[in-house]
Amino acid sequence: MPARKACCGPTVFAVLLLAAVSSAAVAAGDEPPLAPDSSARDLAVIRGRILTPLLEPGDAASVRRLIDAIRPDGTWPEVDYEGRSRSAWAACNHLSHLGTLARAYKSPKSKLRGDARLKKAVFAALDHWLEHDYQNPNWWWNQIGVPRTLAPTLLLLDGELSDAQRAKGLAILGRAKIGMTGQNLVWVTEITAKRGLLENDPDLVAQAYRRIADEIRVTTAEGIQPDFSFHQHGPVLYSHGYGAAFVLDCSRIATQVAGTGLAFPPEKIDILTRLILDGHQWFARGSACDYGASGRQIARKGQTARYLSGAARAMLELPTERDDEFRALAERSLDRPAPPLVGNRHFWRSDTMAHHREAYYTSARMYSTRTANTDMPCNSEGLTSHHVADGCNLIFRTGGEYRDLFPVWDWQKVPGTTVVQTGRLEGALRRQGVRDFVGGVSDGTYGLAAFDFARDGLVARKAWFFFDRQFVCLGTGIACEADHPVATTVNQCFLRGEVTVSSRQKTSTPSPGDHAIDAPAWMHHDSIAYVFPEPAAIHLHNGAQTGNWQMLNQRYSDEAITHDVFTLWIDHGKRPQGATYAYLVAPGMALADVADYAAEPGVSIVVNDPQIQAVRHEERNLTGVAFYAAGTLAAPNDLSLAVDAPCLLLVRELPDRLRVAAANPRNEALTLHVAVNRPLEGEGVEAGADEGASRITLELPGGMDAGRSVTGEFGKRGSPSTAGGVRGLVAAQSAGYH
């Protein structure tokens, strides 16, 4: 498809003017029909763009096999027409075969174009489906899956359909009625647009495409969130899964209608741009997707983020002013060389923090009174995802650390989580959190996530501090009355090579198996160093684990699968009261460098108790603090901080200024006062009670931005200040959506 970014000439200008007038009318609540002089041209353009990729001929050998195998009644012997699976419905394979034949039949490049046997097979298969009209117990197949698969075939065969075939086909497409929300709406509405093309109804086509454009909006209901995460099925993070289909379909549709009277307005293209670049790509490393953003689709084989390449390439055909980022994403998501994504982003609407460095990607996935931990177990999939938001902390370097490992996972040892080890998954799978102090603070480069966690009698306060070379994980106040051990899992991933352990000044490489390691100083596996600054009861499993896909998704076989797995966890024992943990993770580190790093990691744990969790990065002079209550912190560099309300802070001291990022993890508006023992100046600063002290006032947002971080820089009195004051930097922070 040729690029359509730069358009000129009187015809295109007229089309764009029509689009602007139509958009203004829609905004005013009036949706006029397409102008008669443009509707036929626009429908022809859109139809041509839809058909172009469908007219690729496909593999002739595969087509011949389908022709040879089809039976006189238009069926294929390998298709299970009686199956009732709600997820992987085998009968729909008939429509996939039909589509393959129709493309070969209509493609100008096809070696079988005009073949009499092919034509007979195409219409026999079509007639069989139209006559039997197979339906599934799952509404999705009847209203979306079947119409969506059938519509392209009907467009290809348009002109050769009999009146009866057309009527039956249009009736099936008519089950997709405009409504619903998020990606479901996009699906049914695009089907409606194709029905309008088949009926040559410009008003129906216009209504459908305008409704898709309307769904590209920021909302606190299902769909695109103010932080550019994506929700479906309620407050469930679904940026991969439903969100993947949303950006793929919307970007493709945007190119199909570009330059016509139905072109998406610029503000819709901007939102779609931000959803992809400021949202989706932050939950991926290369082609690997963060499975915590996949909902129940974590239980499907072969989940990747490769779809981002297709979405990025489509967006390159549209005017976005972010071409370089889309080009990099298009290559990076296919694991090709590209500039790395580097930074930190907190998604306050989804209780998740994403952290990117050139050497690694990691995240912290939580849930609160505002969000659900995962999707419901629809269609018998996602059956083991009970703990995927209990502080999940995945670590990617190559992207293959967890890919299709899930059949053998111990689902009570999801990386980063603190879980009662009952040996069986219990209780409701999908649930809302019961506490509201869950969130993060980010300055765009560094971040802190904090989780006041409670589940079925287990409580803990968990925090992650994300820096450059490493991140720090803290837990405190861990308590439970269960007669089972409680464990915090450091990681559970594919075993790649040897594990090296340093304990009691001795280094060893444990043989495959299960090992209890008392108070190790550090461990190393697959170029990741794990450092334990405090004595802890560490357990290591480095060996085979067996499971099957059916345990998590009923569509799959129960055939046994075995993989070698590296699992590392901290044992808090039975009935812990006030237990703690602390460990550092340094991805991308050679074994030869670990001992020196562990001796001087460059970070220090300032406090780890139920009131305050704080870590200081020495070189960056950066302190992260989770205040679970109003209080005071004395940091090692003679920095004192006091706050008058629970909050999260990142404080970085520079030679001539102090940078403060703050957020309210309760996701409410808050006027926060921060007292600091430094003489500061700037907007929002007043002198403190003591000489050389200051009091900073920060207005933390409410509404759709409630929970978003606010950053201010404040000059030190007597030093040249680079600060623009709180107000200017808050605006910049808001635009960046950290």
Quick one: CA dihedral 302, 304, 306, 311, positive or negative? positive
CA distance 155 to 161: 10
Quick one: CA dihedral 237, 239, 242, 247, positive or negative? positive
pLDDT greater than 70 at residue 35:
no
Close Cβ partners of 163 (under 8 Å, ≥ 6 residues apart): none
Longest Cα–Cα distance of the chain, Å, equals 94
Beta-strand runs (E) in 367-496 = 395-396, 418-420, 438-442, 447-455, 458-466, 471-479, 485-494
Q: What is the pLDDT of residue 505?
A: 86
* pLDDT tens digits along 437-447: 999 999 999 99
Residue 614's nearest CA partner among 649, 584, 586, 644 is 649
* pLDDT tens digits along 656-710: 999 999 999 999 999 999 999 999 999 999 998 788 899 999 999 999 999 999 9
CA distance 429 to 373: 8
Q: What is the pLDDT of residue 558?
A: 96
pLDDT greater than 60 at residue 37:
no
pLDDT greater than 50 at residue 729:
no
* pLDDT tens digits along 387-411: 999 999 999 999 999 999 999 999 9
Q: Which two tokens stand for residue 539?
A: 């357990």
CA distance 352 to 283: 10
Q: Which two tokens stand for residue 691?
A: 């000489």
Which of the pair, 32 or 356, is modelled with greater confidence? Answer: 356
Which of the pair, 704 or 179, is modelled with greater confidence? Answer: 704
Q: What is the pLDDT of residue 192?
A: 96
Q: Do 567 and 469 meet the contact criterion of CB atoms below 8 Å apart?
A: no
Which of the pair, 738 or 678, is modelled with greater confidence? Answer: 678
Sequence letter at residue 437: F
pLDDT greater than 70 at residue 148:
yes
Close Cβ partners of 684 (under 8 Å, ≥ 6 residues apart): 696, 697, 698, 712, 714, 725, 726, 727
How many Å separate Cα 697 from the centre of its chain? 34
pLDDT greater than 90 at residue 29:
no
Rounded to 5 degrees, what angle do the CA atoms 12, 15, 18 make?
Answer: 150
- Domains in the chain: ranges and CATH: 1-32+217-334 (1.50.10.100), 36-215 (1.50.10.100), 345-603 (2.70.98.10), 629-736 (2.60.220.10)
pLDDT greater than 70 at residue 638:
yes
Residue 497's nearest CA partner among 509, 507, 489 is 509
Q: Do 648 and 663 meet the contact criterion of CB atoms below 8 Å apart?
A: yes
Give the mean pLDDT of 141-148.
95
The mean of the pLDDT values for the chain is 91
SS3 49: helix
Give the CA distances from residue 194 to residues 49, 189, 314, in Å, rounded to whole numbers and listed in that order. 12, 9, 20
CA distance 493 to 163: 57
* pLDDT tens digits along 301-334: 999 999 999 999 999 999 999 999 999 999 999 9
Residue with tokens 């680079």: 722
Q: What is the pLDDT of residue 286?
A: 97
Close Cβ partners of 293 (under 8 Å, ≥ 6 residues apart): 229, 237, 238, 239, 240, 241, 243, 283, 350, 352, 365
Residue 466's nearest CA partner among 653, 661, 645 is 661
**What is the secondary structure of 660-725 as a DSSP string?**
EEEE-TT-S-EEEEEEESS-EESTTEEE-SSTT-EEEEEEE--GGGTT--EEEEEEETTS-----H
Per-residue three-class SS string for 509-548:
CCCCEEEEEECEEEEEECCEEEECCCCCEEEEEEEEEEEC
CA distance 698 to 684: 7
Q: What is the pLDDT of residue 371?
A: 98
* pLDDT tens digits along 415-437: 999 999 999 998 999 999 999 99
Q: Do 306 and 334 meet the contact criterion of CB atoms below 8 Å apart?
A: yes
Q: Could you give the percent of the chain with pLDDT greater than 70?
A: 92
Q: What is the pLDDT of residue 38?
A: 61
Give the CA distances from residue 285 to residues 341, 355, 357, 359, 361, in Å, rounded to whole numbers and listed in that order. 8, 10, 10, 10, 6
Give the CA distances from residue 411 to residues 332, 417, 422, 605, 630, in Å, rounded to whole numbers and listed in that order. 30, 10, 11, 30, 36
CA distance 75 to 679: 81
pLDDT greater than 70 at residue 82:
yes
Q: Do 628 and 644 meet the contact criterion of CB atoms below 8 Å apart?
A: no
Residue with tokens 């802190």: 448
Beta pairing class for 537-547 and 471-479:
unpaired
Q: Could you give the percent of the chain with pLDDT greater than 90?
A: 85
SS3 647: strand
